[in-house]
Chains A and B, each alone.
Chain A
Amino acid sequence: MMQKTIDRLLIFLSIFLIWELCTHTFSILDPFLFPSPEKVAQLLVEDSEVFRKSFTSSIYLLTSGLILALLTAIPLGLLVGWQRRLHQAVEPLTNLLGPIPPIVYIPYTIALLPTFTLSSIFVIFIGAFWPLFINTVAGVQAVEKGLIDSARTLGVSRWTMLTRVLLPGALPHILSGGSISLVLAFILLTAAEMIGATSGLGWYVKYFSDFADYPRVVAGILVIGIVVLLLMTVYRQVSSYLLRWRTSG
Protein backbone atom coordinates (compact mmCIF):
# COMPACT_ATOMS: atom_id res chain seq x y z
CA MET A 1 0.00 0.00 0.00
CA MET A 2 2.75 2.38 1.04
CA GLN A 3 4.92 1.25 -1.87
CA LYS A 4 2.13 2.04 -4.30
CA THR A 5 1.82 5.60 -3.04
CA ILE A 6 5.59 6.13 -3.31
CA ASP A 7 5.66 4.75 -6.84
CA ARG A 8 2.85 7.02 -7.91
CA LEU A 9 4.46 10.08 -6.38
CA LEU A 10 7.72 9.22 -8.13
CA ILE A 11 6.00 9.08 -11.52
CA PHE A 12 4.35 12.47 -10.94
CA LEU A 13 7.57 14.01 -9.69
CA SER A 14 9.66 12.79 -12.58
CA ILE A 15 7.20 14.05 -15.17
CA PHE A 16 7.07 17.39 -13.39
CA LEU A 17 10.86 17.47 -13.23
CA ILE A 18 11.27 16.69 -16.94
CA TRP A 19 8.71 19.38 -17.74
CA GLU A 20 10.50 21.88 -15.51
CA LEU A 21 13.95 21.03 -16.91
CA CYS A 22 12.84 21.18 -20.54
CA THR A 23 11.08 24.52 -20.16
CA HIS A 24 12.16 26.79 -17.32
CA THR A 25 15.62 25.47 -16.46
CA PHE A 26 17.24 24.74 -19.83
CA SER A 27 14.68 26.20 -22.28
CA ILE A 28 15.06 23.19 -24.60
CA LEU A 29 11.48 23.56 -25.81
CA ASP A 30 10.01 26.60 -27.56
CA PRO A 31 8.57 28.77 -24.72
CA PHE A 32 5.87 30.03 -27.04
CA LEU A 33 4.36 26.53 -27.39
CA PHE A 34 5.51 24.96 -24.12
CA PRO A 35 4.82 26.99 -20.98
CA SER A 36 6.73 26.19 -17.82
CA PRO A 37 4.98 24.66 -14.81
CA GLU A 38 5.32 27.97 -12.96
CA LYS A 39 3.58 29.82 -15.75
CA VAL A 40 0.71 27.32 -15.85
CA ALA A 41 0.34 27.36 -12.07
CA GLN A 42 0.28 31.16 -12.13
CA LEU A 43 -2.50 31.10 -14.78
CA LEU A 44 -4.54 28.61 -12.80
CA VAL A 45 -4.64 31.12 -9.96
CA GLU A 46 -5.00 34.19 -12.17
CA ASP A 47 -7.90 32.74 -14.20
CA SER A 48 -9.53 30.90 -11.31
CA GLU A 49 -12.71 32.99 -11.61
CA VAL A 50 -12.96 32.25 -15.35
CA PHE A 51 -12.40 28.57 -14.64
CA ARG A 52 -15.09 28.59 -11.96
CA LYS A 53 -17.59 30.14 -14.37
CA SER A 54 -16.54 27.79 -17.18
CA PHE A 55 -16.93 24.84 -14.86
CA THR A 56 -20.43 25.89 -13.82
CA SER A 57 -21.48 26.42 -17.41
CA SER A 58 -20.04 23.07 -18.52
CA ILE A 59 -21.55 21.14 -15.61
CA TYR A 60 -24.96 22.63 -16.36
CA LEU A 61 -24.88 21.31 -19.94
CA LEU A 62 -23.41 17.99 -18.88
CA THR A 63 -25.89 17.24 -16.11
CA SER A 64 -28.86 18.39 -18.18
CA GLY A 65 -27.94 15.99 -20.99
CA LEU A 66 -27.10 13.17 -18.60
CA ILE A 67 -30.27 13.50 -16.54
CA LEU A 68 -32.33 13.49 -19.71
CA ALA A 69 -30.53 10.32 -20.79
CA LEU A 70 -31.02 8.67 -17.39
CA LEU A 71 -34.72 9.47 -17.34
CA THR A 72 -35.33 8.02 -20.80
CA ALA A 73 -32.72 5.29 -21.37
CA ILE A 74 -33.28 3.37 -18.12
CA PRO A 75 -37.10 3.13 -18.20
CA LEU A 76 -37.06 2.34 -21.93
CA GLY A 77 -34.27 -0.17 -21.46
CA LEU A 78 -36.19 -1.90 -18.66
CA LEU A 79 -39.28 -2.19 -20.83
CA VAL A 80 -37.43 -3.34 -23.93
CA GLY A 81 -35.35 -5.82 -21.95
CA TRP A 82 -38.44 -7.24 -20.29
CA GLN A 83 -40.78 -7.45 -23.29
CA ARG A 84 -39.33 -9.94 -25.74
CA ARG A 85 -41.59 -8.82 -28.57
CA LEU A 86 -40.73 -5.16 -28.08
CA HIS A 87 -37.05 -6.07 -28.00
CA GLN A 88 -37.27 -7.95 -31.28
CA ALA A 89 -39.14 -5.04 -32.82
CA VAL A 90 -36.65 -2.32 -31.87
CA GLU A 91 -33.43 -4.30 -32.20
CA PRO A 92 -32.75 -3.34 -35.87
CA LEU A 93 -33.34 0.32 -35.03
CA THR A 94 -30.94 0.08 -32.09
CA ASN A 95 -28.35 -1.57 -34.30
CA LEU A 96 -28.69 1.22 -36.86
CA LEU A 97 -28.78 4.27 -34.57
CA GLY A 98 -26.62 3.05 -31.71
CA PRO A 99 -23.26 2.99 -33.50
CA ILE A 100 -23.56 6.46 -35.10
CA PRO A 101 -20.79 8.58 -33.54
CA PRO A 102 -22.85 11.27 -31.76
CA ILE A 103 -20.33 13.95 -32.66
CA VAL A 104 -21.71 14.00 -36.21
CA TYR A 105 -25.01 15.30 -34.87
CA ILE A 106 -23.43 18.55 -33.70
CA PRO A 107 -23.66 20.64 -36.92
CA TYR A 108 -27.17 19.39 -37.63
CA THR A 109 -28.54 20.07 -34.16
CA ILE A 110 -27.05 23.54 -34.20
CA ALA A 111 -29.04 24.18 -37.36
CA LEU A 112 -32.10 22.41 -35.99
CA LEU A 113 -32.46 23.82 -32.48
CA PRO A 114 -32.90 27.50 -31.59
CA THR A 115 -30.07 27.90 -29.07
CA PHE A 116 -26.58 26.57 -28.63
CA THR A 117 -27.46 25.41 -25.11
CA LEU A 118 -30.31 23.27 -26.39
CA SER A 119 -28.29 21.73 -29.18
CA SER A 120 -25.37 20.83 -26.89
CA ILE A 121 -27.74 19.33 -24.33
CA PHE A 122 -29.36 17.33 -27.10
CA VAL A 123 -26.04 16.01 -28.43
CA ILE A 124 -24.88 15.09 -24.93
CA PHE A 125 -28.20 13.37 -24.37
CA ILE A 126 -27.90 11.32 -27.58
CA GLY A 127 -24.34 10.33 -26.74
CA ALA A 128 -25.22 9.28 -23.21
CA PHE A 129 -28.48 7.59 -24.20
CA TRP A 130 -27.21 4.62 -26.22
CA PRO A 131 -24.64 3.13 -23.85
CA LEU A 132 -27.18 3.42 -21.01
CA PHE A 133 -30.04 2.01 -23.04
CA ILE A 134 -28.10 -0.90 -24.53
CA ASN A 135 -26.64 -1.83 -21.15
CA THR A 136 -29.99 -1.58 -19.39
CA VAL A 137 -31.49 -3.99 -21.94
CA ALA A 138 -28.54 -6.37 -21.53
CA GLY A 139 -28.75 -6.01 -17.75
CA VAL A 140 -32.42 -6.96 -17.62
CA GLN A 141 -31.74 -9.99 -19.79
CA ALA A 142 -28.88 -11.01 -17.52
CA VAL A 143 -31.05 -11.09 -14.38
CA GLU A 144 -31.12 -14.68 -13.06
CA LYS A 145 -34.27 -16.43 -14.18
CA GLY A 146 -34.52 -17.91 -10.69
CA LEU A 147 -34.84 -14.43 -9.18
CA ILE A 148 -37.61 -13.52 -11.60
CA ASP A 149 -39.41 -16.77 -10.74
CA SER A 150 -38.92 -16.02 -7.07
CA ALA A 151 -40.51 -12.59 -7.57
CA ARG A 152 -43.38 -14.09 -9.54
CA THR A 153 -44.14 -16.58 -6.77
CA LEU A 154 -44.45 -13.63 -4.37
CA GLY A 155 -47.15 -12.27 -6.65
CA VAL A 156 -45.44 -8.96 -7.48
CA SER A 157 -47.16 -6.45 -9.74
CA ARG A 158 -45.67 -5.44 -13.10
CA TRP A 159 -44.54 -2.14 -11.62
CA THR A 160 -42.86 -3.84 -8.66
CA MET A 161 -41.21 -6.33 -11.01
CA LEU A 162 -39.71 -3.47 -13.02
CA THR A 163 -38.68 -1.22 -10.16
CA ARG A 164 -37.76 -3.60 -7.34
CA VAL A 165 -36.49 -6.63 -9.25
CA LEU A 166 -35.37 -5.82 -12.80
CA LEU A 167 -33.93 -2.37 -12.05
CA PRO A 168 -31.69 -3.45 -9.16
CA GLY A 169 -30.93 -6.72 -10.96
CA ALA A 170 -29.78 -4.83 -14.04
CA LEU A 171 -27.93 -2.20 -12.01
CA PRO A 172 -24.41 -3.67 -12.43
CA HIS A 173 -24.83 -3.45 -16.22
CA ILE A 174 -26.55 -0.05 -16.04
CA LEU A 175 -23.70 1.42 -14.02
CA SER A 176 -21.02 0.14 -16.36
CA GLY A 177 -23.01 1.59 -19.26
CA GLY A 178 -23.28 4.80 -17.26
CA SER A 179 -19.52 5.22 -17.00
CA ILE A 180 -19.26 4.97 -20.80
CA SER A 181 -22.07 7.53 -21.06
CA LEU A 182 -20.29 9.88 -18.69
CA VAL A 183 -17.02 9.81 -20.62
CA LEU A 184 -18.80 10.14 -23.95
CA ALA A 185 -20.92 13.00 -22.61
CA PHE A 186 -17.83 14.86 -21.53
CA ILE A 187 -16.17 14.41 -24.92
CA LEU A 188 -19.31 15.71 -26.63
CA LEU A 189 -19.62 18.57 -24.18
CA THR A 190 -16.13 19.88 -24.85
CA ALA A 191 -16.49 19.27 -28.59
CA ALA A 192 -19.75 21.21 -28.68
CA GLU A 193 -18.25 24.02 -26.61
CA MET A 194 -15.29 24.29 -28.96
CA ILE A 195 -17.65 24.64 -31.90
CA GLY A 196 -20.23 27.12 -30.70
CA ALA A 197 -20.09 28.15 -27.06
CA THR A 198 -19.29 31.46 -25.41
CA SER A 199 -18.45 29.88 -22.06
CA GLY A 200 -17.36 26.55 -20.64
CA LEU A 201 -14.16 24.57 -20.34
CA GLY A 202 -14.05 23.54 -24.02
CA TRP A 203 -14.69 27.13 -25.01
CA TYR A 204 -11.77 28.31 -22.82
CA VAL A 205 -9.27 26.07 -24.59
CA LYS A 206 -10.57 26.90 -28.06
CA TYR A 207 -10.85 30.64 -27.38
CA PHE A 208 -7.26 31.07 -26.21
CA SER A 209 -5.81 28.83 -28.87
CA ASP A 210 -7.35 31.23 -31.39
CA PHE A 211 -5.16 33.92 -29.80
CA ALA A 212 -2.19 31.54 -29.74
CA ASP A 213 -2.19 31.87 -25.93
CA TYR A 214 -0.78 28.40 -25.43
CA PRO A 215 0.02 28.72 -21.71
CA ARG A 216 -3.73 29.22 -21.15
CA VAL A 217 -4.51 26.32 -23.51
CA VAL A 218 -2.30 24.01 -21.43
CA ALA A 219 -3.85 25.31 -18.20
CA GLY A 220 -7.32 24.68 -19.64
CA ILE A 221 -6.46 21.15 -20.70
CA LEU A 222 -5.11 20.47 -17.23
CA VAL A 223 -8.30 21.75 -15.62
CA ILE A 224 -10.42 19.57 -17.92
CA GLY A 225 -8.31 16.55 -16.91
CA ILE A 226 -8.86 17.30 -13.24
CA VAL A 227 -12.60 17.81 -13.70
CA VAL A 228 -12.98 14.47 -15.54
CA LEU A 229 -10.94 12.75 -12.86
CA LEU A 230 -13.16 14.21 -10.13
CA LEU A 231 -16.35 13.26 -11.95
CA MET A 232 -15.15 9.69 -12.47
CA THR A 233 -14.08 9.40 -8.84
CA VAL A 234 -17.48 10.54 -7.61
CA TYR A 235 -19.15 8.18 -10.11
CA ARG A 236 -17.12 5.23 -8.88
CA GLN A 237 -17.98 6.03 -5.27
CA VAL A 238 -21.67 6.24 -6.04
CA SER A 239 -21.49 3.01 -8.07
CA SER A 240 -19.81 1.03 -5.36
CA TYR A 241 -22.33 2.35 -2.84
CA LEU A 242 -25.25 1.29 -5.06
CA LEU A 243 -23.64 -2.12 -5.58
CA ARG A 244 -22.61 -2.61 -1.95
CA TRP A 245 -24.71 -5.78 -1.84
CA ARG A 246 -22.40 -7.39 -4.37
CA THR A 247 -19.41 -7.46 -2.02
CA SER A 248 -19.89 -11.03 -0.91
CA GLY A 249 -18.24 -11.86 2.38
Chain B
Amino acid sequence: MEALLQLEAVSLAYGNSASNRLVLSDVTVDVKEGEFITVVGPSGCGKSSTIGLLAGLLTPTSGTIRLQGTPITGPGPDRAVVFQDYSLFPWMTALDNIHFALQQVRKATREEALQYLHLVGLSEAKEKYPGELSGGMRQRVAIARAFAVDAPVYLMDEPFGAVDAKNRIYLQDLLLRLWKTGEHSKTIFLVTHDIDEALYLGDRIIIFTPSPGRIRRIVEVPFTRPRTRAYLVHDPAYIQLRNEILSLLQDDLIGELELVEGGSGI
Protein backbone atom coordinates (compact mmCIF):
# COMPACT_ATOMS: atom_id res chain seq x y z
CA MET B 1 0.00 0.00 0.00
CA GLU B 2 1.23 3.46 -0.86
CA ALA B 3 2.14 5.72 2.01
CA LEU B 4 -0.29 8.46 3.00
CA LEU B 5 2.42 10.96 3.88
CA GLN B 6 5.80 10.89 2.20
CA LEU B 7 8.73 13.03 3.21
CA GLU B 8 11.48 12.71 0.66
CA ALA B 9 14.94 14.14 1.37
CA VAL B 10 13.37 17.13 3.09
CA SER B 11 15.70 19.88 4.24
CA LEU B 12 14.82 23.22 5.75
CA ALA B 13 17.03 26.24 6.29
CA TYR B 14 16.02 29.53 7.87
CA GLY B 15 17.38 32.88 6.80
CA ASN B 16 18.77 34.17 3.53
CA SER B 17 21.65 32.93 1.41
CA ALA B 18 24.16 35.06 3.33
CA SER B 19 23.43 33.51 6.71
CA ASN B 20 21.28 30.49 6.76
CA ARG B 21 20.81 28.01 9.52
CA LEU B 22 20.06 24.45 8.59
CA VAL B 23 17.19 23.21 10.73
CA LEU B 24 16.30 19.93 9.09
CA SER B 25 18.58 17.86 6.91
CA ASP B 26 17.64 15.08 4.53
CA VAL B 27 14.56 13.77 6.32
CA THR B 28 12.96 10.84 4.56
CA VAL B 29 10.05 8.91 6.03
CA ASP B 30 6.82 7.29 4.86
CA VAL B 31 3.76 7.38 7.07
CA LYS B 32 1.05 4.80 6.49
CA GLU B 33 -2.63 5.59 6.67
CA GLY B 34 -4.00 5.16 10.18
CA GLU B 35 -0.57 5.17 11.73
CA PHE B 36 0.25 6.98 14.98
CA ILE B 37 3.72 8.46 14.64
CA THR B 38 5.47 10.11 17.55
CA VAL B 39 8.57 12.23 17.22
CA VAL B 40 11.16 12.80 19.93
CA GLY B 41 14.43 14.67 19.89
CA PRO B 42 16.45 17.24 21.81
CA SER B 43 15.12 20.78 21.80
CA GLY B 44 15.99 22.72 18.69
CA CYS B 45 16.19 19.59 16.54
CA GLY B 46 13.53 20.79 14.14
CA LYS B 47 10.64 18.72 15.53
CA SER B 48 8.31 21.70 15.47
CA SER B 49 9.56 22.75 12.04
CA THR B 50 8.55 19.31 10.77
CA ILE B 51 5.00 20.02 11.94
CA GLY B 52 5.17 23.44 10.25
CA LEU B 53 6.25 21.78 7.01
CA LEU B 54 3.55 19.12 7.14
CA ALA B 55 0.94 21.76 7.96
CA GLY B 56 2.06 23.77 4.95
CA LEU B 57 3.04 26.79 7.06
CA LEU B 58 6.67 26.34 6.00
CA THR B 59 8.11 25.37 2.63
CA PRO B 60 11.02 22.94 2.47
CA THR B 61 14.29 24.35 1.14
CA SER B 62 14.78 21.12 -0.75
CA GLY B 63 12.99 17.80 -1.02
CA THR B 64 9.27 17.14 -1.30
CA ILE B 65 6.41 16.32 1.02
CA ARG B 66 3.46 14.46 -0.45
CA LEU B 67 0.06 13.83 0.99
CA GLN B 68 -1.81 11.07 -0.86
CA GLY B 69 0.67 11.53 -3.67
CA THR B 70 0.13 15.29 -4.08
CA PRO B 71 2.85 17.72 -2.98
CA ILE B 72 1.87 19.94 -0.05
CA THR B 73 1.87 23.61 -1.10
CA GLY B 74 0.06 25.25 1.79
CA PRO B 75 -2.28 24.69 4.72
CA GLY B 76 -5.42 22.74 4.00
CA PRO B 77 -8.47 21.23 5.65
CA ASP B 78 -7.03 17.73 5.10
CA ARG B 79 -4.63 18.37 7.98
CA ALA B 80 -5.77 19.49 11.43
CA VAL B 81 -3.14 21.02 13.69
CA VAL B 82 -2.92 21.28 17.47
CA PHE B 83 -0.22 23.54 18.86
CA GLN B 84 1.14 23.69 22.39
CA ASP B 85 -0.42 27.13 22.82
CA TYR B 86 -2.24 29.58 20.60
CA SER B 87 -4.45 27.03 18.89
CA LEU B 88 -7.62 28.71 20.12
CA PHE B 89 -8.70 32.27 19.45
CA PRO B 90 -8.96 34.04 22.80
CA TRP B 91 -11.86 36.24 21.62
CA MET B 92 -14.10 33.30 20.81
CA THR B 93 -15.82 31.11 23.38
CA ALA B 94 -14.92 27.41 23.51
CA LEU B 95 -18.00 26.63 21.43
CA ASP B 96 -17.37 29.43 18.94
CA ASN B 97 -13.80 28.26 18.43
CA ILE B 98 -15.07 24.85 17.32
CA HIS B 99 -17.96 26.31 15.35
CA PHE B 100 -15.61 28.70 13.56
CA ALA B 101 -13.26 25.86 12.57
CA LEU B 102 -16.21 23.76 11.36
CA GLN B 103 -17.54 26.63 9.26
CA GLN B 104 -14.27 26.82 7.39
CA VAL B 105 -14.83 23.35 5.96
CA ARG B 106 -18.61 23.14 5.70
CA LYS B 107 -21.91 24.66 6.78
CA ALA B 108 -22.37 23.77 10.41
CA THR B 109 -24.69 24.67 13.25
CA ARG B 110 -23.65 25.47 16.78
CA GLU B 111 -25.38 22.27 17.90
CA GLU B 112 -22.98 20.24 15.79
CA ALA B 113 -20.06 22.11 17.30
CA LEU B 114 -21.45 21.38 20.74
CA GLN B 115 -21.29 17.64 20.08
CA TYR B 116 -17.53 17.84 19.75
CA LEU B 117 -17.25 19.81 22.95
CA HIS B 118 -19.35 17.11 24.56
CA LEU B 119 -16.94 14.51 23.19
CA VAL B 120 -14.14 15.96 25.32
CA GLY B 121 -16.44 16.41 28.32
CA LEU B 122 -16.60 20.19 28.21
CA SER B 123 -20.15 20.97 27.14
CA GLU B 124 -20.72 22.94 30.34
CA ALA B 125 -17.80 25.25 29.46
CA LYS B 126 -19.19 26.18 26.04
CA GLU B 127 -19.66 29.87 26.81
CA LYS B 128 -16.25 30.22 28.48
CA TYR B 129 -13.40 32.05 26.79
CA PRO B 130 -10.02 30.29 26.53
CA GLY B 131 -8.62 32.75 29.09
CA GLU B 132 -11.13 31.43 31.61
CA LEU B 133 -10.12 27.79 31.09
CA SER B 134 -7.20 25.87 32.58
CA GLY B 135 -4.35 24.80 30.30
CA GLY B 136 -5.65 21.24 30.21
CA MET B 137 -9.18 22.34 29.33
CA ARG B 138 -7.86 24.58 26.58
CA GLN B 139 -6.05 21.64 25.00
CA ARG B 140 -9.21 19.55 25.25
CA VAL B 141 -11.04 22.23 23.28
CA ALA B 142 -8.16 22.41 20.79
CA ILE B 143 -8.33 18.63 20.30
CA ALA B 144 -12.10 18.78 19.95
CA ARG B 145 -11.66 21.47 17.32
CA ALA B 146 -9.15 19.37 15.42
CA PHE B 147 -11.40 16.31 15.42
CA ALA B 148 -14.47 18.36 14.51
CA VAL B 149 -12.83 19.23 11.21
CA ASP B 150 -12.55 15.45 10.59
CA ALA B 151 -9.30 15.64 8.65
CA PRO B 152 -7.46 12.45 7.65
CA VAL B 153 -4.22 13.76 9.17
CA TYR B 154 -3.62 15.22 12.63
CA LEU B 155 -0.47 17.17 13.34
CA MET B 156 0.29 17.85 16.99
CA ASP B 157 3.16 19.96 18.23
CA GLU B 158 3.79 19.07 21.89
CA PRO B 159 0.07 19.31 22.57
CA PHE B 160 0.43 18.28 26.22
CA GLY B 161 3.74 20.02 26.89
CA ALA B 162 2.21 22.71 29.10
CA VAL B 163 -0.28 20.44 30.87
CA ASP B 164 0.21 18.95 34.34
CA ALA B 165 0.90 15.21 34.71
CA LYS B 166 -2.61 14.16 35.72
CA ASN B 167 -4.31 16.02 32.90
CA ARG B 168 -1.70 14.76 30.47
CA ILE B 169 -2.67 11.15 31.17
CA TYR B 170 -6.32 12.03 30.67
CA LEU B 171 -5.59 13.83 27.41
CA GLN B 172 -3.42 11.01 26.06
CA ASP B 173 -6.20 8.49 26.62
CA LEU B 174 -8.72 10.89 25.11
CA LEU B 175 -6.54 11.23 22.05
CA LEU B 176 -6.23 7.45 21.65
CA ARG B 177 -9.99 7.12 21.96
CA LEU B 178 -10.65 9.78 19.31
CA TRP B 179 -8.02 8.30 17.04
CA LYS B 180 -10.00 5.08 16.78
CA THR B 181 -13.52 6.58 16.61
CA GLY B 182 -15.22 7.96 13.53
CA GLU B 183 -15.74 6.54 10.08
CA HIS B 184 -12.38 7.36 8.56
CA SER B 185 -9.07 6.11 9.80
CA LYS B 186 -6.95 8.93 11.15
CA THR B 187 -3.23 9.38 10.88
CA ILE B 188 -1.51 11.20 13.72
CA PHE B 189 1.90 12.83 13.75
CA LEU B 190 2.68 13.94 17.29
CA VAL B 191 5.81 15.73 18.47
CA THR B 192 6.78 15.38 22.13
CA HIS B 193 9.77 15.70 24.42
CA ASP B 194 8.39 12.97 26.68
CA ILE B 195 9.73 9.49 25.86
CA ASP B 196 6.99 7.75 27.85
CA GLU B 197 4.36 9.67 25.93
CA ALA B 198 6.01 8.71 22.63
CA LEU B 199 6.08 5.05 23.66
CA TYR B 200 2.58 4.95 25.07
CA LEU B 201 0.96 6.61 22.05
CA GLY B 202 3.04 5.73 19.03
CA ASP B 203 3.11 2.87 16.53
CA ARG B 204 6.53 4.13 15.51
CA ILE B 205 8.84 6.66 17.08
CA ILE B 206 11.01 8.91 14.96
CA ILE B 207 14.11 9.95 16.88
CA PHE B 208 15.82 13.14 15.72
CA THR B 209 19.46 14.17 16.17
CA PRO B 210 20.29 17.64 17.53
CA SER B 211 20.38 20.55 15.13
CA PRO B 212 20.36 20.25 12.23
CA GLY B 213 17.69 17.62 12.72
CA ARG B 214 18.23 14.34 10.96
CA ILE B 215 16.42 11.11 11.55
CA ARG B 216 18.59 9.22 14.00
CA ARG B 217 16.46 6.12 14.03
CA ILE B 218 12.87 5.00 13.60
CA VAL B 219 11.75 2.61 16.34
CA GLU B 220 8.80 0.26 16.00
CA VAL B 221 6.79 0.12 19.20
CA PRO B 222 5.94 -3.58 19.62
CA PHE B 223 3.31 -3.34 22.38
CA THR B 224 -0.22 -4.37 21.48
CA ARG B 225 -3.15 -2.04 21.96
CA PRO B 226 -4.94 -1.18 24.08
CA ARG B 227 -1.88 -0.49 26.15
CA THR B 228 -2.03 -0.26 29.90
CA ARG B 229 0.26 2.18 31.64
CA ALA B 230 0.51 0.21 34.86
CA TYR B 231 1.40 -2.92 32.94
CA LEU B 232 3.84 -1.24 30.55
CA VAL B 233 6.06 0.36 33.18
CA HIS B 234 6.78 -3.06 34.66
CA ASP B 235 7.36 -4.77 31.33
CA PRO B 236 11.11 -5.43 30.89
CA ALA B 237 10.77 -4.97 27.13
CA TYR B 238 9.30 -1.52 27.72
CA ILE B 239 12.03 -0.54 30.13
CA GLN B 240 14.67 -1.77 27.72
CA LEU B 241 13.20 0.13 24.77
CA ARG B 242 12.82 3.25 26.87
CA ASN B 243 16.46 3.07 27.98
CA GLU B 244 17.56 2.50 24.44
CA ILE B 245 15.81 5.66 23.22
CA LEU B 246 17.04 7.58 26.22
CA SER B 247 20.64 6.59 25.58
CA LEU B 248 20.30 7.47 21.89
CA LEU B 249 19.14 10.96 22.86
CA GLN B 250 21.81 11.26 25.53
CA ASP B 251 24.61 10.13 23.22
CA ASP B 252 23.66 12.90 20.85
CA LEU B 253 23.57 15.47 23.59
CA ILE B 254 26.94 14.38 24.95
CA GLY B 255 28.32 14.40 21.41
CA GLU B 256 27.08 17.93 21.01
CA LEU B 257 28.57 19.03 24.31
CA GLU B 258 31.98 17.61 23.42
CA LEU B 259 31.82 19.40 20.11
CA VAL B 260 31.23 22.71 21.84
CA GLU B 261 34.02 22.03 24.34
CA GLY B 262 36.42 21.06 21.56
CA GLY B 263 35.53 24.25 19.72
CA SER B 264 36.26 26.43 22.71
CA GLY B 265 39.76 24.95 22.96
CA ILE B 266 39.45 23.39 26.41
Q: Which residues of A line the B interface, CB within 8 A? A: 144, 146-147, 149-156, 160, 164-165, 168-169, 171, 244-249
Contact = CB atoms under 8 A, between A and B. Distances in A.
12 contacts: A146-B83, A147-B86, A150-B81, A150-B86, A152-B56, A155-B77, A155-B104, A160-B104, A168-B89, A245-B91, A245-B92, A245-B130
A50 to B, nearest CB: 44
Q: What secondary structure prevails in chain A residues at the interface with B?
A: helix
B167 interface: no
B131 A249 contact: yes
B85 A146 contact: yes
A156 B149 CA distance: 13
Given A155-B77, A155-B104, A245-B90, 19 more contacts: A146-B87, A147-B86, A149-B55, A149-B81, A150-B81, A150-B86, A152-B74, A152-B75, A153-B55, A153-B57, A153-B80, A153-B81, A154-B100, A154-B104, A155-B76, A168-B91, A171-B91, A249-B131, A249-B132
Nearest to A146: B86
A78 to B, nearest CB: 15
Given A155-B77, A165-B89, A248 B132 contact: yes
B91 A153 contact: no
Contacts of A151: 89
Given A144-B86, A146-B85, A169-B91, A156 B131 contact: no
B101 interface: yes
Contacts of A171: 91
Contacts of B55: 149, 153
A51 B85 CA distance: 54
B153 to A, nearest CB: 11
Contacts, number: 68
A176 B57 CA distance: 32
Contacts of B86: 144, 146-147, 149-150
Interface residues of B, number: 29
Interface in B3-44: none
Nearest to A243: B91
A154 B149 contact: yes
A150 B89 contact: yes
Contacts of A150: 81, 83, 86-89
Interface string B82-107: 01011111111000000011001100
Nearest to B128: A249
B214 interface: no
Contact of A164 (B81, B85, B100): B100
B84 to A, nearest CB: 9
Interface in B51-87: 52, 55-57, 74-77, 79-81, 83, 85-87
Given A144-B86, A154-B104, A171-B91, A149 B76 contact: no
A239 to B, nearest CB: 14
B57 A149 contact: yes
Contacts of A155: 75-77, 104-105
B129 interface: yes
B219 to A, nearest CB: 28
A229 B91 CA distance: 29
Contacts of A247: 131-132
A248 B131 contact: yes
Nearest to A172: B91
Contacts of B77: 154-155
A154 B131 contact: no
B104 A149 contact: no
A169 B86 CA distance: 12
A151 to B, nearest CB: 8
A232 B52 CA distance: 45
A156 B89 contact: no
